[in-house]
Amino acid sequence: MSQTVTAGGAIFPRLKALGVDYVFANSGTDFPPIIEGLAEAAAQGIDLPKALVIPHEHAAMGMAHGYYLMTGRPQAVILHTNVGLANGAIGALNAACEHIPLLLMSGRTPATEEGRFGARTVPIGWGQEMRDQTALVREACKWDYELKFPEQLPGLLDRAHAIAMSTPRGPAYLSLPREILCEPVAAEALGSPATMQPVSIAPDEGALAQAAAWLASAERPLVIAQRGAGDDASFRRFAKWVEDWAIPVSSWWATHLALATDHPCHVGADPSPWLAEADVVVVLDCLAPWWPDRHPVARGAKVINIGPDPIFSRFPVRNFRSDLAIAGESAITIPALATAMEGLPRDKTQLIQRRARIAKATRGIRDRLATEATARTETGITKAFVSRTLGEALEGRRSSVFSELGTHLGMLARHERNSWFQEPHSGGLGWSFPAALGAQLADPERLCVATMGDGSYIFANPTACHQIAEALSLPVLIVILNNAEWGAVRAAVTGLYPSGYASRANAMPLTGLSPSPDFTLTAQASGAWARTVTRPDALRSAVDEAIHITETERRLALLDIRCLPD
């Protein structure tokens, strides 16, 4: 590369040095120096992160999210000024809520009107000016800054990467004014190692010892886990630890799998009967570990919060009890706690009795789920039936399910880490489709499945997502559980007003999505295989055929499954 490049041309070489594989980009008139730098690098054969054209910003953010879930490495997203950043803001909220690190950048309309290279040239240069563009994502980002001088760029990218990857992880944002991107910067050090490293928090030894003592002496311990159990090693260690100590694990609103659904200690999604009697409760990386109005904590119980940010300091109101808090990534805290309990005295008789009680309860839970999976199928297809059927079809395959108001964990059997993800609790819908695309990009041999409601599919900007799947040859499986309504809204209304007018109405206001479009046509427009399924007896064969298409023809397959309302 030349001795100097523009600041825009320096972005990709520096991201390469930071270990970034892909830059998910939606370009605009602020991008000329970036594009010129990419063309120069290509002409000179310089290896850079792959620049991907993503035709909608929400999809770009979701793909970076999904890629990180598979690899543990943050990727970069570059968007177009304020309007592109606004479209990406929902993805930033999702990433922040789930502690997903990514390097978010966007152009900024030129500050100068004339007399400087890169100054405003077309009316949108005035129309896109904002008093505070960064305010669009500031609350979702751990760090933000606006590039002031070209020579700042390498150091600022290093800082953004280090902060994004520091515990607790999350997005970082850098604003890029066009005039600055057009100015020269020295190229010689762009490939040098990072000048700043992330901070990883080790759990406090005293707090670990206290937690270990409480748990070892507990008669009725409980773990509630929402966001997984760390990496592969800690996932396995967690499964062994809870089995050795006979500790039930509830997956209340789990966004990641912490324990295989057929593990003898996995007691399902409902913590209520276990929480009501628990004397020690471990809240493992849970934003909201229970429903305060419905799930009372036993009098005198000790509550231990464990996680990257165990009391979730970013959220103004979160008043769940925390008698003890242990900070650190789960990949570190779980093995540390298990090790701290090694050698502590155990009541073997109590463990045998507790293990038998948990096993009996889990058998009952699985029997009930099996019954529910086939209930009402004489009148149509239910979400429970789709969940059970898809789980059976995926058995023996290395797969990941990204569920967004779609299939249900437990009904759908999952066994391995990274095999289950649910929509972030931030509620930024349209997440599962692009997240599955990003995961497929990261792990091409994995079967990536996005299951979602019809409303979530619409939110995903499906035309853009299908174009991406075709352009990048990403053979994901899309399963739409189409009940022609906002099912979550209906459930919220009936939950608050079970005997109210809305619950008794023939058509509940503000929830219907009829007439439902023919989603198969949207998929087929981008070369996908697509089918509509209306009968329960046709579901399994349709799922099997869809999987076969993804595996043999390496193209996206979509099932539009017409479901009964919940």
pLDDT tens string, the chain, 566 residues long: the values are: 678 999 999 999 999 999 999 999 999 888 999 999 999 999 999 999 999 999 999 999 999 999 999 999 999 999 999 999 999 999 999 999 999 999 999 999 999 999 999 999 999 999 999 999 999 999 999 999 999 999 999 999 999 999 999 999 999 999 999 999 999 999 988 999 999 999 999 999 999 999 999 999 999 999 999 999 999 999 999 999 999 999 999 999 999 999 999 999 999 999 999 999 999 999 999 999 999 999 999 999 999 999 999 999 999 999 999 999 999 999 999 999 999 999 999 999 999 999 999 999 999 999 999 999 999 999 999 999 999 999 999 999 999 999 999 999 999 999 999 999 999 999 999 999 999 999 999 999 999 999 999 999 999 999 999 999 999 999 999 999 999 887 888 888 888 898 898 888 878 888 888 888 999 999 999 999 999 999 999 999 999 999 999 999 999 999 999 999 87
Residue 191 lies in a domain: no
Q: Is residue 9 part of a domain?
A: yes
Domain end marker among 339, 362, 385: 362
229 in the same domain as 112 = no
**395 shares its domain with 291:** no
Judge whether 197 lies within some domain. Answer: no
User: Are residues 389 and 531 both part of a single domain?
Assistant: yes
Q: Do 175 and 230 share a domain, yes or no?
A: no
552's CB contacts (< 8 A; 6+ apart) are: none
Within this chain, do residues 43 and 180 fall inside the same structural domain, yes or no?
yes
Helix or strand holding residue 51 (H, E): strand 50-53
CATH assignment of the domain containing 421: 3.40.50.970
Which of 159, 186, 213 terminates a domain? The answer is: 186
Are 447 and 548 members of one domain?
Answer: yes
Same structural domain for residues 162 and 221?
Answer: no
In a domain, 214, yes or no: yes
- In this structure, is residue 320 part of a structural domain? yes
- Residue 173 within any structural domain of the chain: yes
Q: Which domain covers residue 390, as residue numbers?
A: 375-562
Is the separation of the CB atoms in 120 and 110 below 8 Å?
yes
Q: Indicate whether 438 and 291 sit together in one domain.
A: no
Task: Round to whole Å and give the CA distance between 28 and 48.
Answer: 21
Same domain, 209 and 307: yes
CATH number, domain with residue 315: 3.40.50.1220
Residues 182 and 210 in one domain: no
Contact 455, 429 (CB under 8 A): yes
Can you tell me the distance from the alpha carbon of 137 to that of 146, in angstroms, rounded to the nearest whole number? 13
Report how many domains make up the chain: 3
CA 153 – CA 157 distance, rounded (Å)? 6
Q: Which residue among 362, 390, 418 closes a domain?
A: 362
Q: Is residue 308 part of a domain?
A: yes
DSSP for 336-365, written as a single string: HHHHHHTT----HHHHHHHHHHHHHHHHHH
Residue 369 lies in a domain: no
Residue whose pair of structure tokens reads 């040098």 in the numeric block: 192
Do 119 and 158 lie in one domain? The reply is yes
Which helix H or strand E contains 177, and what residues bound it? strand 171-177
- Tell me the pairing of strands 249-250 and 529-533: unpaired
Q: Round to whole Å and give the CA distance between 485 and 510.
A: 9
Whether residue 477 sits in one domain with residue 446: yes
Residue 63 contacts residue 53 (beta carbons within 8 Å): no
Q: Give the tokens for residue 222.
A: 């409980």
